[in-house]
Structures are given as C-alpha cells and as structure tokens.
Amino acid sequence: MTRHDTVTAARRVVVKVGSSSLTTAEGGIDPARVSALVDTLASARGRGAEVVLVSSGAIAAGLSPLGLKRRPRDLATQQAAASVGQGLLVHRYTEELARHGITTGQVLLTLDDVTRRSHHQNAHRTFARLLEMGVLPIVNENDTVATNEIRFGDNDRLAALVAHLVHADLLLLLSDVDGLYTAKPTEPGSRLLADVHGEDDLAGVRIGTAGAAGVGTGGMQTKIEAARIATGAGVPVVLAAADQAAAALAGEEVGTMFHPTGRRRPTRLLWLAHATEGKGRLFLDDGAVRAVGERRASLLPAGITRVTGSFSAGDPVDLVAGDGAPVARGLVNYDSAELPALIGRSTRDLAKELGSSYEREVIHRDDLVVLHGRSVGT
C-alpha cells in the first residue's frame, strides 16, 4: 500500500502539534499558526476523517501573560503557567474551529486515566462518545496537577498512546523540522529518511535535540520513541513540519513515514509499558522469571525473593531477575508493607492461614507486560 493510499484511507487520525509550532518566540499563542492548523484539520474532517488533536502549548501560552521570559524550571511555576495557558489555548482553538462549524472538547489526561482499569475504560468511552457526536477532542496532559507526568516529554509519546486508545488509523506528528534526518539537518551529508520500516532503517542515525528550547521540551528522540510505540501497535506514523500538515494529510511525499511493525495490543498494557515508572521492584527466582517472561503467567508470591520500594495495591511495579535485569511491569495487588510476609509461600498455604482473600495473584497476567530489554528504575 502506498503512502498516499494509507494516509487518505485513514478514517480516524490523531494529530500532535508541539509548542514551538503554535507560539511566538516570546511564548504567546501565534494566531496565524493556530488558524492555519485548524484550517487543515477542518479540511481533513471535510473529507470524512475523524480527528483527535493532541496539542502542547499550555505552559508556553501562559508565559507571556505571567511575564515569564522562558519556560520555568520549577514544577510549581510550570503548573501555574499551564493553568493560565490551557484556558487561553483551548479558547483560541474553540474560536477557530467554530469558523468551520466544528465543536471542540477538552480532554486532560494523567497516567492513572489509562493504566488503572476503571479509569481506562472511562477514558475510552469518553473519546468514543465525543467522536460519535462529531466533536473534535483536544488532548493534553493535565499539567496543572501532574507531578511526574509534566516531565513526560513534549506530548509525542502521549500522542502515540492516544492514537492506540482511540483506535486511530494514522498518527501525524507535526514539528519544527521536516522529518527524520540521518544527522542534524544542517550537517553536511545529512539526508532525510522518507520511510522507516523498522530498527534497521534507524541504524547509523545520529540524533540531536531539535526544536525551540525556550518553549518546547521535546526533541527528535521523543518523536522516534513515539513512532516506535505507535508502529509497534500497528499505527502508521508521519513526521512532518507544521507547515506541511495539509500536504501530509493529503498523502503527499513529505516528511518521514514510519510503517507499522506490530499488531494492535491491549491499550492499558501499552500505557503500562511506555507511560509508567515502577514504584517498586519485585525480585523473582529463576522459575518465576521463566513463567512470567516466557509463558506470560501471573506472578504468585512463591516466585518472589525480595521486595523494594514503597507502593500501594494498584500501583505499577517492576519485576526483575535476581541480578536486577528487567523482566516485566505490572499492576500489583498488594501493598509494599504486606507483601514481604507473603514471599516464597504458596497461595494455598496463605489462604489456609490468612483467609481466602490471600489466594489471589500478586500480579495477574492481564495486568502485566513483558519488558524486552527496557531499563527500570531503582
């Protein structure tokens, strides 16, 4: 299937735009840039595609009204800027989309919204209903109250995960560079990669940071990671400059296309693997490593040798081998305070001694994802 056919056949498209593509150098929203982007999104809708927009820019938009010359470093000021800027950003989008008769809705996400089962189901239903009603959702992380999430990146990875959450047919990453180059675009001999079919095509690519450092946080590395997540879950990705958005959505040969490398997988597990950090570590014996890593079995107390970290039931934790090598990540069913007393024991013995509630798995296989060579926290 050609790029043109893949792109123009997409019935549901997620578009991500970064801060530097929306704002002035001083940090305020650039009305002309927003208007041009909205015109492109409206055109795609006019061709019959449903569109979800993942938009950075809340913190950047809040800089000028607060008299800040650059993106603040401390979390509290970032959150204050996001609080001011998010309303300004969505208001601008709402006005521009109204010119085309399109209603917009704001969706602010945190990681809990899509990793915990009940929250994830609600997020999925919300998106489905908005799209069914003809609304164009505008997505951002909930920067005003986020903690670790605010350092999540420039929304590239968020966009890849949202693309999977809404069952998108295409992810378009808009940037201030016009695709993936083998080195910095200004370096002699650097060339644009029109297509990436897998990791082999990335061999020898030297990545530097890109973007306007004063307002954005992402670089080319976050875009490659986003492309890996999306294509690994079966969603094709086009990376292009913001001013190439219309051409990209028309299927023209602009930017870089990352072709799918895998199949769709449960959305919660995708978020668990790529959008969380383990709050503790469970060390496994050799038998448990094989059971979890090779047979995709649930983790039982008998296979655990040691527990580190502080966590509550429902939190993500990392499962590691005896030498600390990553094996998997999962949502734990016990608190860190009660788990040490259970390790190494069978669920049958625990149920006899402590009651039937202790006959459950430490991590059920449905809440577990195997990590292939990924690093985990300490």
Considering Cα of 36, then 39, then 44, then 49, what sign does the dihedral take? positive
Name the amino acid, one letter, at 185: P
**Contact by Cβ (8 Å): 172, 245:** yes
Provide the edge-to-edge strand list for the sheet that holds 368-370. Answer: 304-309, 280-284, 316-320, 326-331, 368-370
156 is in an annotated binding site: no
- DSSP states along 97-155: HHTTT--EEEEEE-THHHHSHHHHHHHHHHHHHHHHTT-EEEEEE-TTT-SGGGGS-SS
Q: Is 220 known as a binding-site position?
A: yes
The answer to the question of whether 67 is labelled as a binding residue is no
Distances (CA, A) of 85 to 64, 107, 113, 143, 230: 9, 15, 22, 10, 28
56 annotated binding-site participant? yes
Distance from C-alpha of 231 to C-alpha of 264, rounded to nearest angstrom: 9
Q: How far apart are CA 271 and CA 279, in angstroms?
A: 15
In sequence order, what are the residues at sequence separation of 6 or more whose Cβ sits closer than 8 angstroms to the Cβ of residue 4? Answer: 251, 252
Q: Is 155 annotated as ligand-binding? A: yes
Q: Is 143 annotated as a binding residue?
A: yes
Rounded distance, CA 281 to CA 363, Å? 12
Question: Is 16 assigned a ligand-binding role in the annotation?
Answer: yes
Is 222 one of the annotated binding-site residues?
Answer: yes
Tell whether 43 is in a known binding site: no
Residue type, 28: G
CB burial of residue 95 (10 Å; 0-12, 13-18, 19+): middle
User: 217 a known binding residue?
Assistant: yes
- Residues at the binding site are 16, 56, 143, 155, 175-176, 217-223
- Residues at the binding site for ATP are 16, 175-176, 217-223
